[in-house]
Structure 1
Amino acid sequence: MPGTITRSTLRQQIADALRDEVLAGRLPAGRNFTVKEIAEQYGVSATPVREALVDLSAQGLLDSDQHRGYRVHEFTPADFSRMVEAQALLVRGVFRSQAVGGAHDVGRVDMKSVRRRAEASRRAALTGELDVLIGYDLRFWRELCDILGNAYVTDFLERIRVHCWVYCVPPLRALGRLDGLLWAGHLDLFEAVERGDCAGALRVIDGHHEHALDLARRLAPSDGS
């Protein structure tokens, strides 16, 4: 785990650090730990650690065990498939409503920043740089959703994508080389949104959905469990 946390917002800093550990697979699914263990690791009191763990539990990343502390949640192949379906329904619904209601005001969004995230995500996906991709991918979708101006959609979609990455990371690492395997349509989606091409954006989203379902089949345990 990382070294001592020193900044003042301990609750959020610890929650962010632990979420990164889970995303990277360094805190693997099923891993048990206690408030005391994490507090000693970061050199802080138990209170902000307990608060951070409660936050992560609310996000669905940890399970609370009354007698054993906390455990990293274990997502199943069935969970992943459902999350992929939920993401597709959410994103398609948003873009369909945009097509009916007209384009959203993008004047308040830094489109250059979103493009940079899209380009960086695409490069990382094509070269198989998993850790780099996860960070850029999450920021890309958050900034892209800011264009839509609906914080509930943004937060819900980020939660789904975090859960998807948590499930995918361990089996992806086991595959070794990932270049050409990961979805790299971020820039295509951004450019469709930028030019107001809702039909084009929906085609990219459909492609992402199919890619995710194919990836689910590849990553599923061979015994189907």
Structure 2
Amino acid sequence: MSALADELVGLPNIGGRHSLRRQVADALRAALVTGKMRPGVIYSAPALAEQFGVSATPVREAMIDLVNDGLIEAIRYRGFRVVPLSTRDLDELIEMRELIEVPAVGRLAGSITDEATGTLRALADEVMTEAVKGDVSRYLDADRRFHTQLLTLNGNRMLVQMAHDLCNRSRLYGLAKPPERAELVACALEHGRLLDALIRGDAGKAEESMRRHLGHVRSWT
């Protein structure tokens, strides 16, 4: 039987420009990444709302978003529970990402515009900045935005959505061992190498960088 959460998750304070629902959802995803929300524990919307200092409504809406992403499940009359993943589940998710993302970046070799290059370079720099800081949550967020922007250049919306969903499911279950700063930096370097290969038109090197990058991600889960 699942344990009932008897203390609130240490979530970051929210406020600012995005909708409350989006802010809460982002904070919950960060809690999943860092392992503050754990499989087998039931979390109630009212308790989390108290932690945030908001009403329960945006918290319930945000948790439904995570249910739709397959990250948590609703437990009738009790709350929400993190969906556990097995080692096999994670291996299969990473394999699916490789099947989709590796050839997708290869097709972009030699075709990236100067404008797209500037945007991707700025995102790669942001990824590296967060890696140097050792901020895993912000690193993963910047990394996700880099990959989304890159895959969008293929012009296939379904591919981008599928890759986004797989990325969410493979990352948001807590890290088996939080990566050291050096590991984050090593992984962040792949973004620059990938971008350089694409600019040179070297599809093979671009695919190699993407495959190596996904290998780093798997080693942390």
TM-score, normalised via structure 2 length: 0.77
5+ unaligned residues in a row in structure 2: which ranges?
1-10
CA displacement 1:114-172 (0-9 Å, x = unmatched): 11322343465578553342222112112212322333322322222233222452x22
Residues 47 and 106 of structure 1: CA distance in aligned 2, closer, same or farther (over 3 Å): same
Q: Does residue 1:111 correspond to 2:117, yes or no?
A: yes
Which contiguous aligned blocks of 4+ residues in structure 1 show a shift greater than 4 angstroms? 4-8, 102-105, 122-129, 209-213
In 2, the alpha carbon distance for the partners of 1:89 and 1:160 equals 11
**2:137 aligned with 1:134:** no
Give the % identical residues: 28
Q: Report the Cα distance in structure 2 between the residues aligned to 1:76 and 1:33, rounded to whole angstroms.
A: 21
2:51 to 34, 41, 52: 41
Q: For residue 80 of structure 1, what is the aligned residue in structure 2?
A: 90
* Distance 1:105-1:134 versus aligned 2 partners, 3 A rule: closer
* The 10-residue stretch of structure 1 (149-158 or 5-14) with the greater mean CA deviation from structure 2: 5-14
Aligned-residue CA RMSD in angstroms?
3.0
Equivalent of 1:207 in 192, 212, 219: 212
Cα distance in 2, alignment partners of residues 40 and 180 from structure 1:
36
Aligned twin of 1:16: 26
Which of 176, 179, 182 is the aligned partner of 1:179?
182
- The verdict on how the C-alpha distance between 1:79 and 1:43 changes in structure 2, with shifts beyond 3 A counting, is same
1:195 equivalent to 2:200? Answer yes
Measure how far apart 1:5 and its partner are.
Answer: 4.9
Could you tell which deviates more after superposition, 154-163 or 60-69?
Answer: 154-163
1:223 maps to none
Distance in 2, matches of 1:8 and 1:164, equals 25
Question: d(CA) in 2 for partners of 1:144 and 1:188?
Answer: 14
Q: Supply the distance in 1 between the matched residues of 2:102 and 2:141 (Cα, whole angstroms).
A: 23
**Does the 8 A contact of 2:110 with 2:202 survive in 1?**
no
Residue in structure 2 matched with residue 149 of structure 1 by the alignment: 155
Q: Which amino acid aligns with 2:163?
A: L
Q: What TM-score, normalized by structure 1, do the two folds share?
A: 0.76
Residue 50, structure 1, aligned to residue 60, structure 2: yes
Deviates further, 79-88 or 46-55: 46-55
